[in-house]
Structure 1
Amino acid sequence: MANLVIDIGNSRTKFAVFNNSDLKEVFTDLTVKDVELLISKFQISSSILSSVRNDAEEWEAVLKPNTSFLRFSAHSNHNIQIGYKSPQTLGLDRLAAIIGAQSLFPRRNCLVIDSGTCITYDAIDAEGYYSGGSISPGLNMRFQAMHTFTGRLPLLELDENFSDWQGTDTISAMQSGVVNGGCAEVIDFIKKYDSRYPNLQIILCGGDANFFDTRLKSSIFAHTFTTEPHLVLIGLNKVIHQHNDKNF
């Protein structure tokens, strides 16, 4: 049974085709016509759409008449116990990533670090309970903020090869602040969660996951983390299966 998963994020939209739980292909920047062709090519039977924005009507218009369609929300069928005080404001990408973590590492304490537009930290315990997390600016957002809220600092992009502990001019000083500051933040959050959750599994996802993956490989946490760039998609596909099982 083939499923189509659509994740509309802050920066881009991802489309994934699953055969049951097996991820077959991932696409970006598709048109409505492209999605119609995917539905036909892969004989899609079920679909799910998650959006952090409100512009999803064109996708729903093609998915609803052609598939068994779900619009993902905090109230969708899942096995997560949500202790978040305002579940209606919980980012859907954060919730889907938590579901994905539980799917990949059942009955395991997990910390999801999603490093994209923002860096988010979310833990789910071995019993499936989620109490909350943290949100901080992503690496490129930090560069943008320094440029926007100062008079003379230039707008930079992340230099993934930067490795100095300090800068020797303005450009390298900005790179040092973002690179070293971002890594120090991630490591400090890991230490906090590691002290509270035994046998903690750390999962990296998001656009800057590989950047942090490279640096964490030399840390004391190297044996407890994995990188899964498609964690949100895996979580959304899990919701389809849970919904279908409940309604079987």
Structure 2
Amino acid sequence: MLLAIEQGNTNTLFAIHDGKDWVAQWRTATETTRTADEYAVWLYQLLTMHGFDFKAIDDCIISSVVPQSLFNLRKLAQRYFQKTPYVVGDNTFLGIEVRIEKPSEAGADRLVNAVGGHMAYKGPLIIIDSGTATTFDVVAADGGWEGGAIAPGINLSMQALHQAAAKLPRVAIEKPARIIGKDTVTAMQSGIFWGYVGLIEYLIAQIKAEYGHDMTVVATGGVASLFEGATDRIDHFDHDLTLRGLLEIYRRTLSRN
């Protein structure tokens, strides 16, 4: 079985592929101090609870945007599965061109999304990944990653608003029934939610205008589902896009070795 690890700034996804399908997925908070042994105990318990054999994991691929945690994820694979893991951006074969001035600066998560998106959708793409940050990635018709835009994530913006303004409370992010809020909570929810819809729609329009081609827009990420039904500018909501990309990178890398 393949263990795929996709580590973001807020959450880390562990997923198990049995050679045919993804059979299990679990999320944990990203903590840079968590050791390989702690990961192993946590993962062993979850695998056992779901009827899987910990020792059946025979390979591992990792995508991480948190360098401080990568050491312990590598150690997890080496110590407990006796495998040197494949790490996106290190010892993997993407099979796509990275068309920015400094390819080494490309985030592993954005490259994985580019591969996963190109596999599933035709033509040039805009891939919106909503997490700690909201990223807008441009993927050419041939799969090449051509850069994009990065904005603060919606949760991060709400947190900053609460922390910076003494009288504004911490509130849950949800789609309000009205644009004009009638109290502090609904006013904050409206400004953040509809403000983000506006940000998304504006950047989509400007990217398409600058790129000069019709583009398919795909949304993914932990909070992407918030915007389903709120805008018609997104063509597909694809919650498995990142895992699809990781699996494809793993297969492409194996075929090269």
Query: What is the TM-score of this pair, normalised by structure 1?
Result: 0.85
* 1:198 to partner: Cα distance: 3.8
Amino acid at match of 2:39: T
CA distance in 2, matches of 1:74, 1:99: 16
1:193 and 2:207 correspond: yes
Query: Do 1:74 and 1:87's aligned partners in 2 also have CA atoms closer than 8 Å?
Result: no
1:31 aligned residue: 39
| Partner SS state of residue 145, structure 2 | strand
CA distance in 1, matches of 2:217, 2:9: 23
Give ranges in structure 1 of 5+ residues lacking alignment: none
SS in 1 for 2:158: helix
Greater shift, 110-119 or 83-92, is seen at 83-92
Contact 1:16 1:27 in 2 (8 A): yes
- For 1:86 and 1:6, locate their aligned partners in 2 and report how far apart those are by CA, in whole Å: 25
Q: Deviations over 1:112-141 (max 9, x none)?
A: 101111111001011222221111111111
Partner residue of 2:174?
159
Give the counterpart letter for 2:252 in structure 1: Q
Q: CA RMSD in A?
A: 2.4
Cα shift at 1:43: 3.0
Partner of 2:106: 90
Q: Which has the higher contact order (CA 8 A, sep 6+)?
A: 1
Partner of 1:72: 88
> Which protein is richer in strand relative to its size?
1
Does the aligned pair in 1 maintain the 2:74–2:84 contact within 8 Å? Answer: no
Which of 113, 118, 124 does residue 139 from structure 2 map onto? 124
Check 1:104–1:147 CA distance in 2 against 1; reply closer, same or farther (3 A cut).
same
Q: Note if contact 2:39-2:76 (Cα within 8 Å) is conserved in structure 1.
A: no
Indicate the residue corresponding to 2:162 in structure 1: 147
Separation (CA, whole Å) in 2 of partners of 1:35 and 1:60: 14
SS of match in other structure, 2:76: helix
Q: Does residue 109 in structure 1 map to residue 124 in structure 2?
A: yes
Distance 1:151 1:28, change over 3 A: closer
User: Which of 64, 67, 71 pairs up with 1:51?
Assistant: 64
Pick aligned residue for 2:97 from 81, 86, 95: 81
Q: Judge conservation of contact 1:140–1:157 (CA < 8 Å) in 2.
A: no
The residue matched to 2:229 in structure 1 has which SS?
Answer: helix
Aligned residue-pair number: 239
Percent identical across equivalent pairs?
Answer: 25
Uncovered stretches (5+) of structure 2, i.e. residues with no partner: 29-37
